[in-house]
Amino acid sequence: MFDKTLTAAAVAATIEDGMTVGVGGWGPRRKPMALVRELLRSPVKDLTVVAYGGPEVGMLCAAGKVRKLTYGFVSLDAIPVEPWFRRAREAGAFEARELDEGLLQWGLRAAAMRVPFLPTPVGLASDVMSFNPDFRTVRSPYDDAEVLLAMPALKLDVALLHVDRADRRGNVQTLGPDPYFDELFARAAARCYVSCEELVDRIDASHAADARFNLVERSYITGVVPARFGAHPTSNPPAYGWDMEHLRAYCALATQEQGWLTYRAQHLAGSEADYLARAGGESRLAALPVPVF
Amino acid sequence: MGAPVTLAELAIAAASEAWRGDGEVLASGIGVVPRLAASLAKLTHSPELMMTDAEAHLVEEPVPLGPRGTYQPKFSGSMSFARVFDCVWGGRRHVMIGPIQIDRYGQTNLSGIGDRVRPKVQMLGMRGLPGNSMCHANSMFVTAHSKRVFVPGEVDIVGGVGYNPARWPAGANSSHVDLRLIVSDLCVMDFGGTGHAIRVRSLHPGVTLDAVRQASGFPLEAAGQPPATAMPTEEQLAIIHRLDPHDLRAGVFKGNPLVGAGTAA
């Protein structure tokens, strides 16, 4: 049978020390947290993480798994600076590859298109160049002779995404208002795993009318993990909003020396089902309101 | 006599001038005052501006801030983050943000304070500053005008680029850098001085040019004695009240002070 389903633990087991892992979503929005939680439970270390960062970056930093971070921001929106990220950064715990947000997707696009770089003026004259001392410039071969940044391809070993719906073949749909840059994360990665709110046998049989919400074609999807509420505590509109109560408690622990051990013991001990039960169970999670801006 | 006017309302009206005459660009105001200012611009002098619902859609009617009750935004189009980036790099946008530091060249910082490698305080990160500043019009809003914001020398980490020739590699195209207005709690400034130097355009009621200069870490130009910042009109105030029904603007400046005689122009 043509079936890409597997468990989150099986995904985590494929991620080796030193790999480059891209995480989809945006800040506290539609992050593949069930997959990240399995990474947090695994012994993996020395990761290079590429993300429009939210709590997954803070948690991976807190757990000491990040050697290098490529990011434009790490934010929880209502909590502007992710405090665990801040703490790790101020401690010099990882190599910071800070980028303009647009450059991050440009680097993913270069990887997706299998070119070594894509040109852009963006980044020049800013400290993007000092955060990334290996970045080079190119001169336009045309009459303008403009000097541009050659944004290098951000090749990912693995991309992790969360979607609303998937089938066993890896056809995926996101129903929220913004697909973010998940498509490029998938295309830039050698392997891409998605967690999904709902697993169906054949999406063409059950949800053909939603085909325009197809994030990326299934040839880029390596594996599918059923994970209802798998984005919690981040939002997954229109199904549910972020869990600001959970996020605030998590952030408050960042000021405590043993704060991460506390979070781990409170939330990561046991299975994903245990996690969801402790987070309030289905009735509470399904009722988390989608934020209004 | 009209309703009392707060400093926040004065700043919103002053900041709305940033977008005057911009045409069909995406007007992005990040934060309470910039967002209300962009919305006010669209509802008064510049209806051709484009605007989002602060999430992923375009709207022709600016969306009020905060919980909306029965109000339903009416979407006119899509503005995903991917489209915002395309819009940024294509140059059809004018954003107003509140940087943590601004220097004499208009370079801005949202990344952090102190050393880049080991910052004393990590802030947001570069976000879109390098691209915004390189590609389209940019204005700034500052809640507490001081030398900690308007820093001597350069900002600690250059996110937004500016008019500092030393930072630009030979052959790079800086012609799209377009720094416009700075609105602070003390005054309105622009980049119309000598060689794009920052210049005081108007002073908020009760503020002197000396006080502004003493609160800035670098020299500010001024053409003679700057006029007083215009008080918002009754029409502008009515729009501001309607767009900010929960009075989020009251939390922008410490103590939510009133300005001048405390009544609309």
**For each of chain A's 293 residues, which pLDDT tens digit applies?**
799 999 999 999 999 999 999 999 999 999 999 999 999 999 999 999 999 999 999 999 999 999 999 999 999 999 999 999 999 999 999 999 999 999 999 999 999 999 999 999 999 999 999 999 999 999 999 999 999 999 999 999 999 999 999 999 999 999 999 999 999 999 999 999 999 999 999 999 999 999 999 999 999 999 999 999 999 999 999 999 999 999 999 999 999 999 999 999 999 999 999 999 999 999 999 999 998 88
Q: Is the pTM value of this prediction over 0.90?
A: yes
- Please answer yes or no on whether B158 and A89 come within 8 Å at the CB atom: no
Pairing of strands B178-183, B137-141: parallel
The pLDDT score that the predictor gives to residue B69 is 87
* Closest chain A CA to residue B121: A90
- Please answer yes or no on whether A128 and B122 come within 8 Å at the CB atom: no
> What ipTM does this complex have?
0.95
Domain map (residue ranges) of chain B: 7-166+178-246
- Please answer yes or no on whether A123 and B130 come within 8 Å at the CB atom: yes
**CATH domain A8-99+155-286 topology:** Glutaconate Coenzyme A-transferase (3.40.1080)
Q: Which of A98, A108, A175, A187 to mutate to test the interface with B (most CBs of B within 10 A)?
A: A98
Domain map (residue ranges) of chain A: 8-99+155-286, 116-152
- When CB atoms are compared, the residue of B81, B130, B176 closest to A128 is B130
Residue B223: how many CB atoms within 10 A of its CB? 10
pLDDT at B265 exceeding the cut of 80:
no
**Contacts of residue A178 in chain B, CB cutoff 8 Å?**
55-56, 80-81
**Contacts of residue A73 in chain B, CB cutoff 8 Å?**
124-127
The pLDDT score that the predictor gives to residue A1 is 73
User: Does A5 contact B at CB distance below 8 Å?
Assistant: no
The rounded distance, in Å, linking the Cα atoms of A85 and A215 is 29
* Closest chain B CA to residue A54: B124
The pLDDT score that the predictor gives to residue B263 is 66
* 3-class SS string, chain B: CCCCCEHHHHHHHHHHHHHCCCCCCEEEECCHHHHHHHHHHHHCCCCCCEEECCCCEEECCCCCCCCCCCCCCCEEEECCHHHHHHHHHHCCEEEEECCCEECCCCCEECCEEECCCCEEEECCCCCCHHHHHHHCEEEEECCCCCCCCECCCCCCCCCECCCCHHHCCCCCCCCCCEEEEEECCCEEEECCCHHHCCEEEEECCCCCHHHHHHCCCCCCEECCCCCECCCCCHHHHHHHHHHCCCCHHHHCCCCCCECCCCCCC
The rounded distance, in Å, linking the Cα atoms of B144 and B18 is 19
- Please answer yes or no on whether B122 and A85 come within 8 Å at the CB atom: yes
Q: Which of A124, A136, A140, A236 to mutate to test the interface with B (most CBs of B within 10 A)?
A: A124
Query: Phi and psi at residue B114, in whole multiples of 5°?
Result: 100, -150
pLDDT digits (tens, 9 = 90+) for B150-172: 999 999 999 999 999 999 999 99
- Confirm or reject CATH 3.40.50.2300 for domain B7-166+178-246, answering yes or no: no
pLDDT digits (tens, 9 = 90+) for B186-205: 999 999 999 999 999 999 99
The pLDDT score that the predictor gives to residue B223 is 86
- Contacts with A36 (C-beta within 8 Å, 6 or more apart), sequence order: A23, A56, A59, A60, A160
Between chain A and chain B, the number of residue pairs with CB atoms below 8 A apart is 140
Residue A44: how many CB atoms within 10 A of its CB? 21
**Contacts of residue A131 in chain B, CB cutoff 8 Å?**
116
Q: Taking a contact as any Cβ pair under 8 Å apart, which residues of chain A between 181 and 240 contact chain B?
A: 181
The pLDDT score that the predictor gives to residue B3 is 72
Q: Taking a contact as any Cβ pair under 8 Å apart, which residues of chain A between 254 and 293 contact chain B?
A: 292-293
Beta bridge partners of residue A147, listed in sequence order: A139
